[in-house]
Amino acid sequence: MAFEPPQRLIRALGETAPKGDDWLEKLPEAVRQAVALRELTVERVQVPGGRSSLVVLVRRADGTPAVLKLAPPRARPESERAALTRWDGLGAVQLLESVAPTEGVLLLERLHPDVSVRSLPEAKALLEAAGTLRRLWVEPPADDTAHRFETVAERTGRQAAAMRAGAETDPEAAPLVDAALAAREELLAAPPEHRLLHGTFRQSKVLAGERTPWLAVGPDPVVGECAFDLARLVRDRVEDLIASPSGASTTRRRVKRLAESLDVDQERLRGWTLFRAVESGVRARRVGRERDAELLLEFASWL
């Protein structure tokens, strides 16, 4: 079988690939080796798939369905492995190999890849997604010598530097960038808790499962306060929010409802939602996704 990466993956990695990166070129051979090493039978490559990894639906030697996931080092797959090990199937997809023969390759339990929580009506989807996210907020491993998770301060520090650079060439976004950076400084001054977070949680990251109705996939784990994790969920279905005459008021109600349902401070959630929306908007503009940038920055202006 020819392993061709989906176009969505090619485009997304092309936006962030460092000069000289050849991970995509080596991917077909890496897949063949991973499949042979584990004696897997390939069913198909998941299309359109994700933006940072290749997902292959496979069966193990005993016929058990599974998922083989390959990701480049910049997608931090070993951090994902460490988080999945810590969660051990509680709220998240189960890791089937605690130790992998090769880095950047994960063997996971098979969920229903084409059925995410986004298939539910909006109110129900938010409820189920929030309930799933709550189960992931656990204490980080006490012994982190094997793997140290990035902190919210570290991740957003890198992002803040890129935002400042982007604002210098984008006067239109500059006021929102200033507000987002000010919110970040205030939020980092006194974080209320220290939890292991999913890092990139949204409705499409919650898939239907067999042992539990809904399970999270695709974390980019980070350690910090829960409001940071919940902030990305606030802007789910942003296209629908922007298209609605009541989008701004709906967004503010969503912040309030999610904060109350998960016992998160509403103002902290609003602040992190602002920062993450502006960061995503500035980044989208930087790589030429102007439509996405417009949606995200308009959304941010409502906060």
Q: What confidence tens digit (pLDDT) does each residue in 127-150 have?
A: 999 999 999 999 998 765 557 899
Residue 144: per-residue pLDDT: 59
Q: What confidence tens digit (pLDDT) does each residue in 67-101 have?
A: 999 999 999 999 999 999 999 999 999 999 977 77
Residue 272: per-residue pLDDT: 98
CA dist 252 → 36, 132, 159, 278 (Å)? 51, 22, 25, 16
Residue 171: per-residue pLDDT: 87
Residue 188: per-residue pLDDT: 98
Residue 147: per-residue pLDDT: 73
Residue 297: per-residue pLDDT: 97
Instruction: Give the containing element (helix H, strand E) for 268.
Output: helix 266-286
User: Which domains are present in the chain?
Assistant: 7-110 (3.30.200.20), 116-301 (3.90.1200.10)
How far apart are alpha carbons 267 and 265 in whole angstroms? Answer: 6
- Report pTM: 0.94
Residue 246: per-residue pLDDT: 95
pLDDT along the chain (303 residues), means of 10: 80 78 91 95 91 94 96 93 95 89 91 95 94 96 75 97 89 94 97 96 96 96 98 96 95 96 97 98 92 97 97
- What residue type is 124 in one-letter code? K
| Per-position b or e across 200-214, b if 16+ CB within 10 A of its CB | bbbbebbbbbeebeb
Written as six digits, the tokens of 102 are 């090769």
CB atoms within 10 A of CB 138: 15
